Structures are given as structure tokens and as C-alpha cells.
Amino acid sequence: MGDEIKTAAEAAEAHALPRVHEVHTNPAEKNAADQPVPNGVAGKPVEQKSPAQWAYERTVLYLKKFEEGLDDGHEIAMGFAGTDAGVLKIEGMGYFDPDMVTFYGSDPAGGKMQLVQHVSQLSVVFRALPKAVEAEEPNRIGFKLLQDLEQGEA
């Protein structure tokens, strides 16, 4: 600690900002911490967020970071551990205060899927799946979700 003097506003702002630490074997790999934190995330103190909103916002940031590493032939999906549910191509995401997070999407055969999960059980495995052949461009849900966070209240 230095002899730095902070105003109450600076201390409150620093407390409200998310802190992230990551280390990768590949030094070229971008960390989530290297990404700017959207105003909709940083603008509200953590203490004023429900566990669902806080889990949603951080998952969106990781989701977008994962998508940035995909080529045009792949889209993001999530796998399920301990079940034969397969994978869900992520097409939407949301939360229900105070403690539920949901993912909307479809399975590889195009069947509609939705995962609703309590934040205490939240464990997300992102996977890259080949995009649908007929689709011109890959669907980037992370960029849409981040745009929503940047506009303020989710």
C-alpha cells in the first residue's frame, strides 16, 4: 500500500469494479481482464446486484472473450457435464433475480433447448461447434449480450 489518498467516490468505484486474474500458457492469449468492463457492469456496485445478475454479467464477459477466438466457421455452444444432454448452441441468455441464470438455444439437430440453473450450481463449459452450413455468418451472441450490458441495466 502506498501513501495514496483516495476520495470516497474513488474508493467506492474501485470496490464496485470487478477484479479478474488469469494466467495462460500462451502469452498471446487475451485475458478477460484485458477487456474493457461495460458501463452496465461497472456502473452498479456489486452489493446492489443479485447473485443472478452478477453471475450473468461475468458469464457474458467470458462468453464474448471465447467467441473472439473463434473463426467464421464456428459458433459458441455449451456442453453438459454428468449428463447425456449433449450440447446447447447458445442463442440467448438471461437471469431471474435473485438466483437463477438461463441459457436458450438448440441442440446440434436443431431441437429447442433451455438450461435454467441456480447460481450456486453454475458451471459453464464453452465449446466451439461448426456453424450451420446454410448460415452466411456465424451467430455471435456474446457481442449482442455485451452490447446489452453496455447500454446499462440488463
12-40 residue pLDDT tens: 555 555 566 677 777 777 766 677 778 88
Mean pLDDT of the region 62-78: 91
Q: Any idea what DSSP says for residue 9?
A: H
Q: Any idea what DSSP says for residue 134?
A: T
> Looking at residue 37, what is its pLDDT?
79
What residues have CB less than 8 Å from 68, skipping those under 6 apart? 30, 142
Query: How far apart, in Å, do the first and last CA atoms of the chain sit?
Result: 35
Residue 66 amino acid letter: F
In order of 15, 29, 30, 67, 127, the CA distances from 26 in angstroms are: 30, 6, 9, 17, 19
pLDDT digits (tens, 9 = 90+) for 120-152: 999 889 999 888 777 678 888 888 888 888 887
Phi, psi (deg, nearest 5) at residue 112 = -70, 135
Task: Confirm whether pTM is higher than 0.85.
Answer: no
What does the alpha-carbon distance between residue 2 and residue 52 come to, in Å, rounded to a whole number? 36
> Looking at residue 154, what is its pLDDT?
46
Domain range list for the chain: 8-150
